[in-house]
Amino acid sequence: MKVLIVDDEKHAQDTLEILLKKDFPSQFQIVGKCFSLDEALQHLREKGHPDLVFLDVQMPHRSGFELFAEMPHRDFEVIFTTAHDMTREAINLRPFGYILKPINPNELKSKMEEFIENYEETNINRKLDSLIGNSQSLELQLFSTNDNIEFVHNHEIAYMKGDRGYTSIYKTDGTEIMVSKNLKAVQENYPEKQFMRVSKSLVLNIKNIIRYDKKHNKLFMKDNLILDAGSNTIKNIKI
């Protein structure tokens, strides 16, 4: 993770760098050390954005607060370093946090552990968002349950059953996933010719149907899954 240090005092810059290298030797890369806000802005515009900026509040000529006005849509986090407790103005800027000077090594370590956890969680969410955006081309859907995010490939689904505002998704391996969406909302994410609404509460994946037992009125599906089928269900299957 890339870190930029902005502070008009060299010993403050060096202290941060030494402590980061001591406690997190392989996790943070110091990409620059700037002595003023203008120098920092130039660095950000010319050399790209880091993941985190340590930003001194009180500097000659311009306050560290002004970074937020210059870059209102920043894509990096900011931790203020200051000799005074944070003001309401600073808190309203919504930095990741702040550390009082002189810097306490334990306080810094705790804040950086919090940053690492947040960074990793954010990265996971970004990857999930990317997967969700590409899910149709991958023939994959993501379903959020109470405990997990379930990755379900289209070919794994045998059928879906709706019950008012909920839908149970039955997979060919016999497992079930319940999601808090009605059947219509779930079905809309699937190709209609493959996932066919055959009754008010039932959607079948016809690619997983092997045969229909006329005598016993049962549908045999892949992985030895057997489904009791009403006569209307069979009539509504359009090949």
The confidence score (pLDDT) of residue 200 equals 84
SS3 assignment for 123-178: HHHHHHHHHHHHCCCCCEEEEECCCCEEEEEHHHEEEEEEECCEEEEEECCCCEEE
Same domain, yes or no, for 12 and 127? Answer: yes
CATH assignment of the domain containing 170: 2.40.50.1020
Same domain, yes or no, for 167 and 211? Answer: yes
Same domain, yes or no, for 115 and 9? Answer: yes
Closest CA to 28 of 112, 107, 118: 112
Same domain, yes or no, for 128 and 188? Answer: no
The confidence score (pLDDT) of residue 131 equals 56
CATH assignment of the domain containing 121: 3.40.50.2300
Same domain, yes or no, for 55 and 149? Answer: no
- At which residue do the structure tokens 């996933």 appear? 177
- Domain boundary pick from 113, 133, 153: 133
Same domain, yes or no, for 120 and 146? Answer: no
Number of domains in the chain: 2
pLDDT tens string 92-109: 777 888 888 899 999 999
pLDDT tens string 204-221: 898 888 888 877 878 888
Beta bridge partners of 151: 142
Same domain, yes or no, for 80 and 178? Answer: no
Same domain, yes or no, for 12 and 128? Answer: yes
Closest CA to 100 of 90, 113, 115: 90
- Domain boundary pick from 133, 151, 179: 133
The confidence score (pLDDT) of residue 216 equals 80
pLDDT one digit per residue (tens) for the chain, 239 residues = 999 999 999 999 999 999 999 999 999 999 999 999 999 999 999 999 999 999 998 888 888 889 988 888 888 999 999 877 666 666 677 788 888 889 999 999 999 999 998 887 777 656 666 655 555 555 778 777 777 778 888 889 988 999 888 999 998 888 898 888 899 988 888 888 889 888 888 898 988 888 888 778 788 888 777 777 655 555 555 54
Same domain, yes or no, for 102 and 165? Answer: no
Determine the structural domain holding residue 26 and report its residue range.
Answer: 2-133
